[in-house]
Structure 1
Amino acid sequence: MSLVTEEIKVNAEVYNGNEICQEKSKFLLTEMGLPNGLLPMDDMVECGYVKETGFVWLKQKKKTEHKFEKIGKLVSYAPEVTAYVEPNKIKKLTGVKTKELLLWITLNEIYVDDPPTGKITFKTPTGLFRTFPVSAFEIQEERKEVKGKEAIGVNSNETVGEVKEV
């Protein structure tokens, strides 16, 4: 049963398609002071955000699993993930589980202490928690390099703009 009803969608910003949902979910995480790689879901079909309440949802075609290499943790994302977001915090999270030893543990809250270089804490409904570095959940965005007086772009033989040396 979906937690996202038509009544909720009426007051929400709703986006359809993987590309725009990837972009919007990373943007929202960044705006809330959370790492942009926290919800690496695949084949998203819909996402939405109700600004007044902070309710957000992400829908994907099927359940996916992602391993956060920097900390060696496997996380499972259900076809529908919902939460309430506020600055530096995700609460009432549904659809996300992490593997601890042989068990899948449900997560219901995530918060960041001393952003952006601090620690991120994941809590379960039973009160258990684990803390990791925020950097383990960040995706580095690709940036164009600038060398000398030439900006490296599509064609490195063309000068895109002058760069003044200080």
Structure 2
Amino acid sequence: MTLTIPEDVRAKAEIYLGDEAGQHKTRFLLQETGLPSGLLPLKDIIECGYVEETGFVWLKQRKKVDHYFAKAGRHVSYGAEVSAVAEKGRLKKITGVKAKEMMIWVALHEICVDDPPQGKLHCKAIGGISRSFPVEAFEADGPPPPPPVAAAAPRAADVVVAVNGNGNGAVTDEVLVDLTAAIGGLSGKEEKEEAGEEGKKDEGKAAAVAAAAAIEKVEEKMKELSTEHNKQAEAVVAKN
């Protein structure tokens, strides 16, 4: 079953892309909720999303992972897509996680620790099955990672356009002025958003269109220069 995250949920979420950022966020979230740090031993994480308002978290990895917790003597399977609602000392409404009980796999729907802490972790499966284990059996090796940084949209300042001119800059100056102005509009839009201003969506769209037009103009000039260069080279060859 494919895990589909509605756009309104994504809009409210912190989203972390890539395995490193996903691993950091997973470990950090478990630490913040008071759960053992090795509880979600996922690999090759593609995306991790977290909505602080509701505690909803989702994780997408390249393929499912079967992990054996030696200290607990249990096999646990984590699907390519895992989700849960995180709260203090608890993961509830879990999807994508199964534990092996005797010879069958059972879907877990809740994992929690004692409150107040008694050193026990309780795993509850669909169908009423419940098992308790020492918390330390699910701790990860090594210190907890630093707080991760959520993925952000590319900033205009990160866009670099290289133009091969004809040597005197006469062809490209006008184009670069247009491009600089367009990018400046985007940068100003970002600064205003960071300052908390609202209602600038139309302005941002206009700036984005201007930037795209300027970049297209640069590409056209580059094609013209390339064509001219080829003609000159052909003329030299013909002359010789």
Query: How many Å apart are 1:19 and its aligned residue?
Result: 0.6
Secondary structure class of the residue paired with 1:7: helix
Give the structure 2 partner of residue 128 of structure 1: 129
Give the structure 2 partner of residue 86 of structure 1: 87
Instruction: Flag as ranges the 4+ runs of structure 1 deviating above 6 A.
Output: none
Instruction: Say whether the 8 Å CA contact 1:89–1:112 is kept in structure 2.
Output: yes
Query: How many Å apart are 1:5 and its aligned residue?
Result: 2.2
Give the structure 2 partner of residue 54 of structure 1: 55
Instruction: Say whether the 8 Å CA contact 2:57–2:84 is kept in structure 1.
Output: yes
**Matches of 1:8 and 1:18 in 2, distance apart?**
22
Query: How many Å apart are 1:70 and its aligned residue?
Result: 0.6
Gaps of 5+ in 2: 145-240
Give the structure 2 partner of residue 109 of structure 1: 110
**Matches of 2:78 and 2:4 in 1, distance apart?**
15
State the TM-score, normalized to the length of structure 2.
Answer: 0.57
Give the structure 1 partner of residue 46 of structure 2: 45
Across the two proteins, how many residue pairs are aligned to each other? 143
Deviations 1:40-73 (A, max 9, x none): 0010000010000000001000111000011121
Q: Which amino acid aligns with 2:107?
A: T
Q: Which amino acid aligns with 1:44?
A: I
Instruction: Say whether the 8 Å CA contact 1:120–1:132 is kept in structure 2.
Output: yes
Query: How many Å apart are 1:3 and its aligned residue?
Result: 3.7
Q: Which amino acid aligns with 1:59?
A: K
Query: How many Å apart are 1:142 and its aligned residue?
Result: 5.0
**Matches of 2:92 and 2:143 in 1, distance apart?**
30
Give the structure 1 partner of residue 32 of structure 2: 31
Structure with greater helix percent: 2
Alignment root-mean-square deviation, CA: 1.5
Deviations 1:69-118 (A, max 9, x none): 11121110000000001000110000000111110010000110046661
Instruction: Say whether the 8 Å CA contact 2:106–2:126 is kept in structure 1.
Output: no
Give the structure 1 partner of residue 219 of structure 2: none
